Every structure is written in structure tokens, then in C-alpha cells.
Amino acid sequence: MQATILRQPPRIKVLEASSAIADGRIEELSQWIARVRSSDGTRTYIVIIEPETMRVYSSDNGTLLRGYVGYPIISLMMLRGMLPFNKRIADALRGIPWKRLNETYRRYAVVEKIVKSIARNRGVTEKEIDDYINQVMSRLSSYRLVLDPELPKKMGIEEG
């Protein structure tokens, strides 16, 4: 696999990234390297960002197989101030079983409706969520993130 420019993610990945932060599922190994646990705890993804070159790596399926910026990368970018983070919205997304919802419904639009309903019951409006997603997606589009599958090896990081 060679280095490729990553596409914009599905909008729901902004919410999934925020939820991962709120749930404490990110283990920072260094400033630009982290492990991110899946919502059900069965998988762990390694995330690496080289801010000088904007080369990135994440072992999640969205990044590796589908070619878009996966939620683990978005999470680390939020933690490092590269992307907006809204704690109030993130807290409203705490504990959402993303993996189960995605596997059950297999359509991000359906999962997004369910997640927005949960957030609404926790005091966050759909408009607030949509504005936040738009803000993050706009900022994310200003970066040219290049997937570099060799980053773990270059950094001496074992996967798995």
C-alpha cells in the first residue's frame, strides 16, 4: 500500500470521535501517537500524526480500507487543538454503542438519527450538533492528510 490522500469522512465520524474523547477511550502514548479503543472495547487502533508533513496513520477500517479520515485520527486532532472540540456535545454522546449501532443498521444516516435523538434527550439540540459537525468538517477540509502505511514501522510501533 502506498501513501494516499485521505478523503473527508462521513459526517457521523465527527460525533464518534467526540464520543471517544468523552468516554476516555484514547490512550496518549506521546503528543502525536495514541491508541483508541472501539466503543465496545474489542478493538484498539493505533493513531499517528506527523503535524509537520500531515502524514497520518490509523489502523481503523475507515482509514485503511475506505480511504477517509477515520474517527481515531479526528479524535487525536481534536485533542491537539487541530480541530474544534465541544465538551458539552461530547458529554451528550458519552456511552453510545457505536459499533453495535453501525453493525445493526449499516447506514450512517439511520445511526445519526438515533445518536441525535440520544443527544436531544440529554439536552443538546440537533441544530447544535449540525453546526458543530459543519465547523469540524470545514476545518478538517483545510488539511491535506496523507495516509502513510509505513509510519508505524518508521516510529518503531508494534501493532496489535
Look at residue 131 and tell me whether its pLDDT is greater than 70.
Answer: yes
pLDDT in tens, 25-79: 999 999 999 999 999 999 999 999 999 999 999 999 999 999 999 999 999 999 9
**pTM value?**
0.95
Paired sense of beta strands 55-58 and 146-147, if any: parallel
- For residues 150 and 2, give the distance between their C-alpha atoms in angstroms, rounded to a whole number: 8
Residue 155's pLDDT is 86
Look at residue 160 and tell me whether its pLDDT is greater than 60.
Answer: no
Residue 1's pLDDT is 57
Helices (H) and strands (E) in the chain, counts: 8, 6
Percent of the chain topping pLDDT 90 = 94
Look at residue 159 and tell me whether its pLDDT is greater than 90.
Answer: no
Write the CA distances from 69 to 126, 127, 139, 140, 144, integer angstroms: 23, 24, 13, 9, 10
Residue 156's pLDDT is 85
pLDDT grade, residue 3 (50/70/90)?
confident
Q: Which residue ranges make up each domain of the chain?
A: 4-154
Percent of the chain topping pLDDT 70 = 98
Residue 158's pLDDT is 73
pLDDT grade, residue 96 (50/70/90)?
very high
